[in-house]
């Protein structure tokens, strides 16, 4: 093997290893690290979920999405995220670190308790229903959330 061929082969191996690491880890993008333990930001570089106007989502630190679709309205408190999932028939949901994701249709009593104990919204909005993009843009303007980044997957579906 010629020296040039070795250099090309070595560069190819390094490139494949780097792409593999990036694929697994994702890439950092603007987000809001919420005090309840979840993140709000871009769902993915390429969002194949379809039917959604925005590419914003509620997600975990590793980039996994809380919901496969979007949420409207999305209500965020110090301890809880709750609202209705979309697209498709709306499904009321609540998430809290100690309870996980709870759907009202599966456990109405626990869902009602989580929402009742959620506390006041932290996104600065008083009423109404806003999706992830509006809540993200509103919260990102607050000094405590400005300039934050979190892991974003390459593809969401």
pLDDT score of 115:
95
Per-residue burial over 26-61, b if 16 or more Cβ lie within 10 Å, else e, is beebebbbbebebbbbbbbeebebeebeebbbbbee
Q: How far apart are CA 75 and CA 123, in angstroms?
A: 8
CA 90 to chain centre: 19
Q: Given this model, what pLDDT does residue 53 score?
A: 47
Nearest Cα to 154, choosing from 52, 31, 19, 16? 19
pTM: 0.77
Q: Would you call the peptide bond into 87 cis, given omega within 30 degrees of 0 as the criterion?
A: yes
* Alpha carbon 80 to its chain's center: 14
In degrees to the nearest 10, what's the CA dihedral of 71, 74, 77, 82? -50
The pLDDT tens digits along the chain (157 residues) read 788 878 877 777 776 656 555 555 567 889 999 999 999 998 887 777 665 445 788 999 888 889 877 888 889 999 999 999 877 778 999 999 999 999 999 999 999 999 999 998 886 665 567 888 888 888 888 899 999 999 888 776 6
Domain definitions of the chain by residue range = 27-156
């Amino acid at each position: 093997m010629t020296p040039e061929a070795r250099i090309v082969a070595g560069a190819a191996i390094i490139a494949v290893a780097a792409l593999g690491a990036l694929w697994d880890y994702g890439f950092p993008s603007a987000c809001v690290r919420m005090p309840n333990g979840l993140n709000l930001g871009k769902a993915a570089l390429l969002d194949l979920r379809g039917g959604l106007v925005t590419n914003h989502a509620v997600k975990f630190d590793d980039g996994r999405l809380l919901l496969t679709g979007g949420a409207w309205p999305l209500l965020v408190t110090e301890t809880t995220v709750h609202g209705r999932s979309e697209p498709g028939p709306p499904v009321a949901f609540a998430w809290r670190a100690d309870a996980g994701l709870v759907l009202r249709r599966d456990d109405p009593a626990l869902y009602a308790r989580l929402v009742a104990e959620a506390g006041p919204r932290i996104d600065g909005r008083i009423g109404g229903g806003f999706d992830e993009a509006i809540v993200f843009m509103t919260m990102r303007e607050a000094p405590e959330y400005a300039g934050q980044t979190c892991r974003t997957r390459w593809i969401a579906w």
